[in-house]
Structures are given as structure tokens and as C-alpha cells.
Structure 1
Amino acid sequence: MVTVAVAGGTGGIGRAIVEAIAEGGKHKIIVLARKSDEELAARLGAPIIAVDYFNVLELTHTLEKHGVHTVISTINMRTTEGEPPEIELIRAADASKSTKRMISSEWGIPLGPEEIEKQVQVARKYRAKAAMEEAKDLETTVVYNGYFLDYYVGPQIKTYLGPATLFVDVEHDAASIPGDGMTPVVYSHTSDVGRLVNASLDLKKWEPETYIVCDKVTLNEFVQLAEAAKGTKFKAVYDTVEDLKAGNWTDLPGQVAALLLVNGAFDLKPETTLNDMFPKIKTSTVKELLEKAWKNFSGGPSARATIDQRILGILLALLYTSLRSVD
């Protein structure tokens, strides 16, 4: 048993990971946040420790005080409130005498340096990667899990991610597909990611990059599965690559997201995955979750996001990281 600290563990993918570790029952867990919340801590089954993320000495002391062996960061790397404290957390974990491992905040797809000027969170992640490489006494990794399936099946299926629509609007029977729709996309649900991350805590060695691939389908296949689950025909519109490059795209996707998809950025092809390492952990497929969420769904638009929320969700989704909470 080790003590695990999850930074940003009160919401989003962080909360899913906290719940998975708590349910696993093998490791002790604490949540790092900007403020404490006793009521939420009771529901999580884990104490919430208030920290100043930007005070490396104080943060180091907190990790040592609680005997934290492993830090898992789900810090919001796309925040508009200045530089996120990921580098400070890495430095504190490296300085902590008790801390030996850290998962830095990624939770999406690997993007090359050519995306640094296009997406602010990519530049931040590259700076965090440099900080990890400078660490002297810290084993580190990042987790790539593709696109979160939660966005298409919540709130019918429990999730802590906010509303977002990317390419397919299941509720309104619509799809806006970049290219020919034949490029595969990796999908994973946060609950499965949490269980696999919990299992990875027992690995003797981590690789610098960790992959989770719960399912992989093309957008055409995704739409067909959604149509079958709902028993309805979707209105699908296709945007050519030429239109996307010219900045002309249909309502749902964004240009950057669409071009990345048609270029295969979501088609993860790792040599091994946590799914391979832990075959007894059965994860959900796109088909299973779409059917569970939509086959007998009787709610209307009010049961999900408002239009304003959806617009905000689209913009956030285009930044390619899960909607993660930093407290």
C-alpha cells in the first residue's frame, strides 16, 4: 500500500480516479485542492488538503507530511487564469523525500510541437515535460486515453465531466464529420480510465508514456452505433479537408480539432496499453455505452445541457483535454 495524492481530484477525470482508487481499497488516497471541503471529502472517502500550488516549499512539506508516494495530476492545463501550477507540482514531488512517482496532467492525445502555437495547453504540457525530464528522483509518466466517451453518454451514465459536443450531437441526431469519416478515433470512459490508472500503481516500472485504448471506431461507425441505439436517423454533414483548411466547417466541429482528426491524431497505436496489461479489467465499448445511455432515453433537451452550455462545451472540447477541475 502507498499513499496517493490526486491534484484536482474533486471533479472531472480527477474525481473518477479518486473514486477508483478508493473503491480498489489497496492504497491510501488524499486529494490536493485550493480549498478544503469536509462534506465532499466525506463523499469521496478521502481527505481534501488545501494547498498553495505555487508555493513549492509548502507543497513539498505537505507531500512529506502525508507520506505521499505517488502524485497524480489532473490539473487544468487549459485554464485562462494564468499559467497552471503543473511545474511547481512536479518540482515539489521531486523535492519530497517520500514521493517517488508522478503522473503529469495529460489525459488526451499526444500532440507534436507544431501545435504549440495553436493551442495554449500544448505549450504548457511541453514545459511540464521539460520539468519532468529535469527531475532527479522522480519516476514520471503521462496518460494518453483518446477522447472521453463521457461527453456522449452523460448524464445518463455517471460522469464528472461537463457537457461538450465534438463532431456528433447524439441528443439532437446530428453529426458534422471532417473528411470522409473513415479515420479511427480512440475513446475511453473516465470510470475505466480511473480503474486502469489505479491498477497501474502496482506496476514495478512505468514507461514515460502510458496508453489506454478502451475502444476505437471511425466517426461513421460512431454515428451508425448512435443511430442504432436511439432508433433514429442522424443528419450527417461532411466537411472536406479543403473546406477545413479554408476555415469553413459545419456547426459542430472546430477547424483545429477536425484537421487533427483527419490526420490521425486520435488514432492511437501504442505497442502496449494498460488494457493489455490488465485484461481482467473489462472496459466499456462505444456500442455498450451508447445503448445504455440512449436506447430508452426519454428526456428532452432540458435533461442535458442548455444551448449556452453546449456552445461553451464545444469550445472547451476543441482544446483536447478533459474538463478537469483545479480547486
Structure 2
Amino acid sequence: MVRIAVAGGSGSVAREIIDALVATNQHEILLLSRKDAPPPEKAVPGVTWVKANYNDVEQLAQVLQGVDTVLSLIVVHLDTGNVAQRNLIDAAVRAGVRRFAPSEWATSSISFEYMPWYAGKAEIRQYLEDLNKDKKILEYTLFQPGIFVNYLTYPYQSAKHVPMMHTPFDFNKRRVLIVEGSEDVGVTLTTAEDVANVVARAVEYEGEWPAVGGIKGTELTVRQLIQLGEKIRGGPFNVEKLKAEDLKAGVLKASWIPKLEHYSFSPEEAEALSPKFVAGLLLGKSAGAWNVSDEWNRLLPDYQFTQAEDFLTEAWRGKP
């Protein structure tokens, strides 16, 4: 039994992970949030809610006393200057925390050149690497699952907490946007449930955490993913191939644009940002950013991952 602190714990991915941790009935869980605790009737069973001040290292260090593992799910693009995560790391060191997982939960360790909203992840990776440069001060892992396969059931909800996202792979309307020439680039698809379950097992893992912690549910090429979609949805997809040079110039020459939906953006902001977000997503995918490694698969060989074909076949069964 260990004491676990989940920073940004009121977010959707955090809730998936907290549910998996609570289900083990083996840990003391602290949910750190900037928000006030909800009323008792809305409290998360088995979890202690702590209002955290991420600008105060001393307060955070007091909160983290006796904590073995910190899982950060702070929204990176909202953490200006990485103040919250840096302070959280400093507080973890001060409190004697053994393990730390920074806010990753997505792409591989390659450059975020095309996805500037993830730039903070690269800076925190370097911060942790520098911290351990001379000797191991804080054990950490970068949990990287690729794309949540749940997103491919949009607009139908297929995760308990993670909201669906409209992506360039639109199974609902049988259409796809890709970068010209990227058909054979690999993509990792992992269910939100599998990610949460792996984290719950990683917390109990007795060996040393790997610095890079890939979680690979299913690996498919873009071409194979399109073929899978056509098989599951029972008909051909309209595949629009966009030129990389246009996307790099911020021009999205497509007949449709996936709608960016995130609680941190107003509808007007989301509409304005959608073309740039989709362009970056497509360029990142074509560069292989969404294909991750399999460190946790190898460290947890008994865990059976849900395969994308099985998950999507069941999710789309009976859907128009």
C-alpha cells in the first residue's frame, strides 16, 4: 500500500486513473486540485480532496509529506512557464517523494515542432533529466499511450470520464484527413481504460521505472487504420490527402475541419484555433509522433491490452 497524489486530479484522464487506483483497494489517494472540494454527495469515494496552491512550493511539500508517488495531470498548455509542474517537482523532492510521473499522457519523445501546445512537456522532460544528471534524486517515467482509441467513436461516448474528441479520423461520417505520403506511418491506439489500468499496476511495480514509459495498445499504419475503419463501418472512407507544405504554412485545404472541443477554450476560440490544431496534429502524426514505444508492455507482460479492432467493432455495433 502506498500513498499516491494525483495533481490535476479533477480532470477527465485523472478520473479514469483514480478509478483504477481506487478499484485496487490498496492505496491512499490524494486528489490535488486548484478547485474547492465538491460537496460530500459529489465526492470521489476512496479519495481525499486537497486544494493545492501550485505557486507555493512549501504548501505543496507539506501536502506531499509521506507520499510515495505523484502523478501529474496538470494541463500543460494552461501551465504558463511550467510554474505549476516545476513547483510540484521541487516540492516532491523536498518532501522525499520516491516516484513522479509528469503530465505526458499522449505522444512519443520526439520533437513537438508541429504541436506547440505540447512544448511544456519537452521542458519538463529536460527539467527532470537535469535533476537526475549527477545522481538519481527522483525516479520518474513518461507515460505515453499515443492516441486514445476512444476518440474514434466520436460522437458516441466510449470512456467513463474522457470526453470524445473530433479527430481527422472521422469514423462517424466515414472520412479522413491525412498528410500526403504518410500512409505507412505508424500510429499507436490505446484505450483510456488500459492506460488507467497500466498506471495502477505501475504504481505497484517493484522494479525501477523506465524514464520513457510507452504504453502500446495497438500499432497500425495510417493505411491500416483507414482499412479498419472501412471494414468496421461497412463502406469506403473519403480520404483527403493534404500537402505538408500547405499545413506548415498554416493553410488547411480540406472540405471539412474537425472541431476543437476543450473546456479551456471558448467556442469562439476553439473555432479560430481548430485549423492550426488540426494542421499540427496531422504534421505530428506524419512525423511519427503518435507512435509510441512499449516499455510498460514489456514490464507488465501478463497484462492483456484491448485491441483497437475489437474495441471499435463493439463500439460501432448497431450505429448508423
User: Which range, TM-score by smaller chain?
Assistant: 0.7 to 0.9
- Offset at residue 43 of structure 1 (A): 3.7
Question: Is residue 121 from structure 1 mapped to residue 118 from structure 2 by the alignment?
Answer: yes
Match of 2:227 among 207, 224, 228: 224
Aligned counterparts of 1:173 and 1:234: Cα–Cα separation in 2? 5
Structure 2 equivalent of residue 47 of structure 1: 48
RMSD (Å) for aligned C-alpha atoms: 2.4
SS in 2 for 1:213: coil
Cα separation, partners in 2 of 1:73 and 1:41, compared to 1, 3 Å: farther
Cα separation, partners in 2 of 1:92 and 1:40, compared to 1, 3 Å: farther
Cα separation, partners in 2 of 1:223 and 1:39, compared to 1, 3 Å: farther
Q: Deviations over 1:73-107 (max 9, x none)?
A: 0110012777551111111111103x211101111
Match of 2:98 among 75, 100, 104: 100
Structure 1 equivalent of residue 198 of structure 2: 196
Structure 2 unmatched runs, 5+: 259-277
Structure 1 unmatched runs, 5+: 299-327
Corresponding letter in the other structure for 2:23: E
SS in 2 for 1:47: strand
Q: Deviations over 1:114-161 (max 9, x none)?
A: 729x60431x22332243232673212211111121211254422422
SS in 1 for 2:161: coil
- Offset at residue 44 of structure 1 (A): 4.2
Structure 1 equivalent of residue 37 of structure 2: 36
Q: Greater shift after overlay, 219-228 or 17-26?
A: 219-228
Question: Is residue 262 from structure 1 mapped to residue 260 from structure 2 by the alignment?
Answer: no
Cα separation, partners in 2 of 1:267 and 1:60, compared to 1, 3 Å: same
Structure 1 equivalent of residue 267 of structure 2: none
* Contact 2:112–2:284 under 8 Å retained in 1: no
Corresponding letter in the other structure for 1:27: H
Structure 1 equivalent of residue 296 of structure 2: 274
* Contact 1:149–1:286 under 8 Å retained in 2: yes
- Offset at residue 182 of structure 1 (A): 2.1
Match of 1:213 among 194, 213, 216: 216
Cα separation, partners in 2 of 1:113 and 1:222, compared to 1, 3 Å: closer
- Offset at residue 236 of structure 1 (A): 1.8
* Contact 1:153–1:293 under 8 Å retained in 2: yes
SS in 2 for 1:107: coil
TM-score by length of structure 2 reads: 0.82
Structure 2 equivalent of residue 314 of structure 1: none
* Contact 1:222–1:286 under 8 Å retained in 2: no
* Contact 2:212–2:295 under 8 Å retained in 1: no
Q: Greater shift after overlay, 13-22 or 237-246?
A: 237-246
Q: Deviations over 1:254-301 (max 9, x none)?
A: 222222222222233x3x421222232222111112111112125xxx
Cα separation, partners in 2 of 1:126 and 1:157, compared to 1, 3 Å: closer
Aligned counterparts of 2:93 and 2:318: Cα–Cα separation in 1? 50
- Offset at residue 243 of structure 1 (A): 4.1
With CA pairs under 8 Å and 6+ residues apart, which has the higher RCO, 1 or 2? 1
Q: Greater shift after overlay, 54-63 or 215-224?
A: 215-224
Structure 2 equivalent of residue 160 of structure 1: 161
Structure 2 equivalent of residue 185 of structure 1: 187
Cα separation, partners in 2 of 1:40 and 1:17, compared to 1, 3 Å: farther
TM-score by length of structure 1 reads: 0.80
- Offset at residue 197 of structure 1 (A): 1.1
Q: Deviations over 1:16-67 (max 9, x none)?
A: 1111111122222121111212447644431211111111101110111xx2
Aligned counterparts of 2:298 and 2:8: Cα–Cα separation in 1? 28
